Amino acid sequence: MEPNNLCTVERRGRVHVITLTGAGEHRLGPALLGAIRSAVAASAGAGALVLAAEGKFFSNGFDQAWARTVPLHLQATMEDAFRALVADLLALPVPTVAAVTGHAAAAGCALALAHDAVFMRASRGFLYMSEADAGIKIIDFFAEIMREKVPDAVVRRDLLLRGDRMPAAEAVRRGMVDVAVEGGVDDVVNAAVGEAEKLAARGWDGDVVVEIRKAAWPKLWSKVKDYGGAGTPAVATPRL
């Protein structure tokens, strides 16, 4: 599948909605990460950004099947591309909302939490950091996302060292998700767009928003800033 078929960008008023397309697991390999980065870059002039996905999964993490077929030095490009995407989101001069429409595991969970707000489908899906179960060491900036976006130490322990799979209601109760949305995929996306519209209507100075993010999550920014952010080109063009 060509990178520009991996995600779409839809304009809904002042909001750009990026949708990961297809019924698959939306594994975050270099092609999909490049497509998302291009879509995020195209949203810099919008009022707000929403990231959603079709199918059962928001994202089931890194594309490990791809990684097993390439040399180690190429495997690192996947991690670097994700680090760059997190930098892009932190440096985007508009509010960002994740519409978690299905399961979000490992890198998919980290991607959701990298947004300013998280809306999640109440009836289906969970947040899950699978590294302990999979026997994979956690990447440094993943750990920083957890430290800075999940401030409660017990929740972090349960997520990282117990491998708890947290559905929306529990994730809201434990401070990881803002809203659990009843209904289907469209309901989650519509709720996220509604929130994004409210944030866009505030008319905030984009440069100020970016600097506040960097100040609020300084250690995370320090670990990703050399890989992406404003002025760093992405490698694919989304389908508009």
Write out pLDDT tens, residues 88-113: 999 999 999 999 999 999 999 999 99
Coil/strand/helix, residue 119: strand
Segment 58-63 mean pLDDT = 96
Residue 5, pLDDT score: 84
Residue 73, pLDDT score: 82
Banded pLDDT at 236 (limits 50, 70, 90): very low
Residue 74, pLDDT score: 84
Question: Higher-confidence residue: 4 or 163?
Answer: 163
Question: Higher-confidence residue: 210 or 76?
Answer: 210
Q: How far apart are CA 26 and CA 7, in angstroms?
A: 10
Share of the chain above pLDDT 70, in %: 94
Instruction: Assess whether pLDDT exceeds 60 at residue 168.
Output: yes
Instruction: Assess whether pLDDT exceeds 50 at residue 13.
Output: yes
Amino acid identity of 72? L
Torsion angle, CA of 69/56/98/146, rounded to 10 degrees? Answer: -60
Segment 124-149 mean pLDDT = 94
Q: Average pLDDT of the chain?
A: 92
Share of the chain above pLDDT 90, in %: 87
Residue 145, pLDDT score: 96
Instruction: Assess whether pLDDT exceeds 60 at residue 118.
Output: yes
Question: Higher-confidence residue: 136 or 99?
Answer: 99
Banded pLDDT at 151 (limits 50, 70, 90): confident
Place of tokens 């909302």: 97
User: The whole model's pTM is what?
Assistant: 0.92
Segment 44-71 mean pLDDT = 94
**b/e for 45-84, b at 16 or more Cβ within 10 A?**
ebbbbbbbbbbbbbbbbbbeebbeeeeeeebeebbbbbbb
